Structure 1
């Protein structure tokens, strides 16, 4: 045996040292590849989970909104038909006459439907009203107007309730005189009484109190409550008609909604391993459904909330929900969870789907095990190759290869392939080539990861900018919204106080706008508001001015460094600009769209505040309206 052969088998031989180096080298590569694989796979798997969570939650929101959208559309149709029918004098008189045909007066002064109507017995004219019952409070004797509205509510409740039988629990219209007819399987005339401890006090019902106290015709959702007669959780959706000139409502369209199916679907999210909650978009986060606190919700009669139960893990979710728009889905990181949340369109409820981060661990560990296994296999193959080669020329190539592998394991530098034996066709050359390819893949993965991080960061920044713009812009007119107005007014008042300068506020209201809507329709009304906003914007070019939509048909203009005299002239120019547009308004005595403007100014010192400025401008605006509209009224200067 030659000295070379003897040296190859010695513990200090090149082969032995190369073998030890190979073991160390492959171990380092396996650890590095495992670490890279762990973080890359973890990021990609969690990102895929986020995308799936966003998509499934978006689909769930749209699906769950459908029944509520249908209910509110039915209620709007009900109210529209109610108003149109009452406006017909002939039908109005027939409704007054039908009152005595449909309803029966009891000794205590109360009214219910006549006997047999609920069971399906026909009237003398052949009309039937099966499953329709009614009750009317005895403490308010009905006049002709009440009779007409109560009768029409009965007829329309039957029409709409019977059309959705089997899909909705019930349908009913309520008049403010404490009476309501209802289409459902139970006869309320046999349930409600007007004496004793169980006497009906309709004004104590949330839907009645909130519905008739509302200042708009927007739908309201009552707090969730447990109905023991149906052994089910329910909520009532109530939509009032447009308030009259005195701010009073004359009818309330209502539907009681069973929540059991919604809760069952919420308890079974699309993504396996996740869980869902539903809560109201209020300050406390009143819970509708939580898989862990069902008993607490029931025991509190639907009053349990995120804050009352001190659910710290849901506090970030509650805070994020206050920034949501209906149908919008956002992700929140909370206590080891990825939470997708969004407000169900046409409801005041927020759905949150919780994805525990530990769900991704099995897939991450599986990929890590594969990488480690591949590293071990590579190690065994290389040991076999090294022990099989007994030629002197193996030493130098292996040393170079070991050096390159250690360099690759300890840094992200490009491998210097010219020093590796990758030009040979033997096993060492093949190993060198594979190593170069592996190094390239690792480097490419690293570059792709950095590119993806940069891309996601840019997308997040763009989304944040878009969200900021949405949160401060009025959707209809494109002007600043009420939120931005409040912030700017507070800031300008503080600045005016520091600099001891004037600050003016103009309160602008479109004259006879309700009549405009009634005559032209709400779409035309929206177009009119947009045009008024455009004209005002064109004539509000002073540096530092802010024009905002205050609400409905009202606009406000903040004008820093403007005294009361300048504010009055400013207001007159704006009023003239609107009038000069000659936008048709047949319901106005002027024949075209005009505005009434109240001007006020303040030099904030002492107790003077922005609230006083708003109040003075508002009062001035109402004086302008009282003086005949299409003009300007100037308030006093506040100091």
Structure 2
């Protein structure tokens, strides 16, 4: 082998730098992938999907490329210069040193200082990256806490809205929406089981005039008082009382025929007449229309049953008020 071939072979220092570069190229992506996976797991608590995995892969590639570039600029390049200087010194060992040969030592010290400064800068850069990652994790944790709080508030508001959509806000009893659903359900059950079902529509007589004389507050108190009376009178699990709007209420009485419902409603009307109103003045009477479905007296639909009770209430109003009228 000629001397020229020997000179072209890479030196041990060059081979060492190449080996170091190869190890860094293999190790940094693995370390970054592990760090990013642990960080994502600590945030999400579950395995990433395909889209998130692709995003993490690009993040690892970019982070590894940046770190390799920093290592190349701040550590490997000075080491290459140092290796070249060492090789030059070794090649000159066999020949007498010139008069200025003592200048190699200061140059070597300068290279070592540069390497030390490069390693310090690399360490500072890694520390800053760790601080940035910690700050990012704190921000994400705070955002997650705020998101959980917002979701809890939204759920509470949703439940409140759902409750308001099914409850009359003034009296606290069911509203017309709830009554309509219950009427259809109980009517189908009565048809299927051939059982009884009574519907009563109740209306306070001359309520608007009462409001004009005594004020809206007294009128609202009277509506609340009637709702309380209905709740205490009809308290079976199957009974339902609701406010249809204004001064009009309704009672749904499964299992009651015309005679049973008539007796209870007459008693209710007498009890209401005996009550004193909140302001102690004036008197509100109650008109009631009653309809009942039975195998002997069926109705075609739930709406037809309710309409029969409404027509009976109309008759009670035009017959002098303060009375109970039965559907034909």
Scaled by the length of structure 2, the TM-score of the pair is: 0.64
Distance 1:379 1:492, change over 3 A: farther
CA contact (8 A) 2:218 2:279 kept: no
Between the aligned partners of 2:145 and 2:309, the Cα distance in structure 1 is: 54
Between the aligned partners of 1:453 and 1:586, the Cα distance in structure 2 is: 53
1:408 aligned residue: none
Matched, 1:9 2:11: no
2:97 aligned residue: none
CA contact (8 A) 2:200 2:250 kept: yes
2:294 aligned residue: 603
Post-superposition CA distance 1:140-178 (Å, at most 9, x none) = xxxxxxxxxxxxxxxxxxxxxxxxxxxxxxxxxxxxxxx
Between the aligned partners of 2:175 and 2:62, the Cα distance in structure 1 is: 60
CA contact (8 A) 2:203 2:247 kept: yes
Which of 255, 266, 287 lines up with 1:572 in the alignment?
266
1:386 aligned residue: 75
Distance 1:603 1:435, change over 3 A: farther
CA contact (8 A) 1:15 1:386 kept: no
> What are the within-5 Å matches in structure 2 for residues 159-238 of structure 1?
none
* Deviation, structure 1 residue 597: 1.6
Distance 1:527 1:19, change over 3 A: same
* Deviation, structure 1 residue 496: 1.7
Between the aligned partners of 1:624 and 1:606, the Cα distance in structure 2 is: 23
User: Unaligned regions of 5+ residues in structure 2, if any?
Assistant: 1-9, 41-60, 81-118
Other structure's SS at 2:287 match = strand
Other structure's SS at 1:541 match = coil
CA contact (8 A) 1:510 1:553 kept: yes
Post-superposition CA distance 1:328-365 (Å, at most 9, x none) = xxxxxxxxxxxxxxxxxxxxxxxxxxxxxxxxxxxxxx
Distance 1:4 1:458, change over 3 A: farther
* Deviation, structure 1 residue 435: 4.8
Other structure's SS at 2:327 match = strand
Which of 252, 256, 260 lines up with 1:558 in the alignment?
252
* Deviation, structure 1 residue 485: 1.7
Post-superposition CA distance 1:491-523 (Å, at most 9, x none) = 211122222211111111101212212322334
Which of 472, 477, 487 lines up with 2:181 in the alignment?
487
CA contact (8 A) 2:199 2:292 kept: yes
Distance 1:556 1:7, change over 3 A: same
Between the aligned partners of 1:380 and 1:469, the Cα distance in structure 2 is: 62
Matched, 1:459 2:186: no
CA contact (8 A) 1:598 1:632 kept: yes
Between the aligned partners of 2:124 and 2:243, the Cα distance in structure 1 is: 73
CA contact (8 A) 2:32 2:63 kept: no
1:629 aligned residue: 321
Post-superposition CA distance 1:425-473 (Å, at most 9, x none) = 9456545544544443454455445444433433332222122122222
Other structure's SS at 1:596 match = strand
Distance 1:610 1:506, change over 3 A: same
Matched, 1:543 2:237: yes
> What are the within-5 Å matches in structure 2 for residues 77-116 of structure 1?
none
Distance 1:456 1:378, change over 3 A: farther
Q: How much is the aligned-residue C-alpha RMSD, in angstroms?
A: 3.9
Matched, 1:477 2:166: no
Between the aligned partners of 2:249 and 2:130, the Cα distance in structure 1 is: 69
Other structure's SS at 1:547 match = strand
- Flag the structure with higher strand content: 1
Larger Rg: 2
Distance 1:598 1:447, change over 3 A: same
CA contact (8 A) 1:8 1:16 kept: no
1:354 aligned residue: none
CA contact (8 A) 1:624 1:631 kept: yes
2:206 aligned residue: 512
Bigger relative CO (Cα 8 Å, ≥ 6 apart): 2
Between the aligned partners of 1:441 and 1:611, the Cα distance in structure 2 is: 64
Between the aligned partners of 2:190 and 2:326, the Cα distance in structure 1 is: 20
- Flag the structure with higher helix content: 2
2:106 aligned residue: none
CA contact (8 A) 1:489 1:558 kept: yes
Other structure's SS at 1:18 match = helix
> What are the within-5 Å matches in structure 2 for residues 434-449 of structure 1?
434-449=128-143
Count of matched residue pairs: 259
Distance 1:449 1:515, change over 3 A: closer
